[in-house]
Amino acid sequence: MCFGKSKSQLGGDELAKSQEIDKMIRNDQRKLSKEIKLLLLGMYIHNPDTEHLPDPQILAQYRAGESGKSTVLKQMKLLYAEGFPASEREEWRATIFSNLINAFKVILDAMEEYGIEFGNPANAEYAGIILAEPEIGPKQVFPLDFFEDIDRLFTKDYLPNDQDVLRSRLRTTGITETIFELGTLTYRMFDVGGQRSERKKWIHCFESVNCLLFLVAISGYDQCLVEDKDANQMQEALMLFESIANSQWFSKSAIILFLNKIDLFKQKIAYSPISKYFPDYRDDPTDWKQASRYFAERFKGLNRNPQKEIYTHFTNATDTNLLKITMSSVQDMVIQRNLHTLIL
């Protein structure tokens, strides 16, 4: 039994509608052929154990945070999309204020840990304000009573600039998408929640992924997870990467490993030996190039498919120029893979 009509049997209106549908399908196919779907994954980290810290001033490098994937996404908006309009920058003001409060709390905790007194005893009265975790709304002016030395942030007309937005920290939950054009291709980049409790939400992003960008804070080799203080962040990243790299969902996907926060890593290895957390490390403990290659090889060695290449980049997500160079390299790789696919 045959259902429907052939095109030769269609009337004028039906034929026109059929041709319009065919045209829409062809247009969608052409659009999809120039569309690259990127999945951005990373680890969420927590403060390190503090027994090896030589100076409380460096605690700012250890504040609770993430691998930098959200920063990469923000960089993509600045480099290739519309950037951040004034209305969105207004929304970031509250986040930046919250970041300041959290940073001061870390400093207060460190002062208590090391028995450090205030340089100006009068400032002790403001500790209670910080510990109370004050908040502001998007359009509220920052309170001047205990931050008056930070002139720019506390002006009445303060609007976060690009670096303020890039360096602000807001936990990723759920899935966010950024669309941008790079050359002749349209990129759809998805950022998903990085904590253990968020991973079950990734699955419906996996289908038809052209490229996976896996971000790891290389500076977090001595840090723990925010949701499990007994779990080493780098070891957790290695385990997650192994499952991702060998997953059936990514069997045809390019995998690019971003070992991020290389700037902090270079500083940290001088006083936090890698061998304390990775006893098999035998190279020069102060040579960041040897140390970074060690971690790159640890990740690449987890790939069980000899036909799949893992592309590695050492990055600093807040460095716009460095990330632009890196993304240019990523674009070249994607184009080469597309050409290879077409040849096959």
Report CA-CA distances (Å) from 50 to 56, 63, 177, 230. Answer: 9, 11, 36, 14
Between β-strands 254-260 and 44-48, what pairing exists: parallel, antiparallel or unpaired? Answer: unpaired
Q: Please name the residue that has the structure tokens 């007194």.
A: 117
Per-residue tokens: 201: 């939400």
- Using a CB cutoff of 8 Å and minimum separation of 24, what contacts does 327-334 make? 327/76, 327/79, 327/182, 330/211, 330/213, 330/256, 331/182, 331/183, 331/185, 333/254, 333/256, 334/36, 334/185, 334/210, 334/211, 334/254
Catalytic residue IDs = 66, 71, 169, 191, 195
Quickly count: other Cβ atoms within 10 Å of residue 325's Cβ. 13
CA distance 39 to 127: 42
**Nearest Cα to Cα of residue 65 among 48, 50, 49, 44:** 44
DSSP string computed for 306-332:
TTPPEEEEE--TT-HHHHHHHHHHHHH
CA distance 164 to 68: 15
